[in-house]
Amino acid sequence: MQHVIIVIHLMLVLALIGVVLLQRSEGGGLGIGGGGGGGGFMSSRGTSNLLTRATAILAGLFFVTSLVLSILASVSRKPTSIIQGGQSGPVAPGAPAPLGGSDGGGLLKQLQGAPAAPPATPSGPQAPQSR
């Protein structure tokens, strides 16, 4: 379901970009219906109204698909707390301990009882030593 809405969303984005680029700007731009002659398909006023309405409709549909995508993304998300949470997985050596350790004390207890660790030595490239 989410993939279908993403495809529709992307098609709306491309259509919206196209319609905006077709509109006549104050400097001329890429506007259609150039010249002052009345022999075109539509008058310049009719074209402006049509493109303005199309832009408004496409923008509204863009916002609707954006909201639907955000709602679908949040359906499977579980609420979590950084204050009182268990350890989520293994910690890499040298990495800081996760907030809210598995002892159930929470963040405050962990910060109060944490001993100061000495800084680690850098593991970057070393300069060659002369003999």
**How far is Cα 10 from Cα 77, in angstroms, rounded to an integer?**
24
* pLDDT tens-digit map of 2-59: 899 999 999 999 999 999 998 877 655 555 555 555 445 555 666 678 888 999 999 9
Q: CB of 85 within 8 A of CB of 50? A: no
Cα 113 off chain centre by: 38
Phi/psi of residue 15, nearest 5 degrees: -65, -40
Share of the chain above pLDDT 90, in %: 29
Q: Which pLDDT band holds residue 1 (cuts at 50, 70, 90)?
A: confident
Least Cα distance to 86 among 102, 107, 99 occurs for 102
Q: Give me the mean pLDDT over the 85-96 stretch.
A: 58
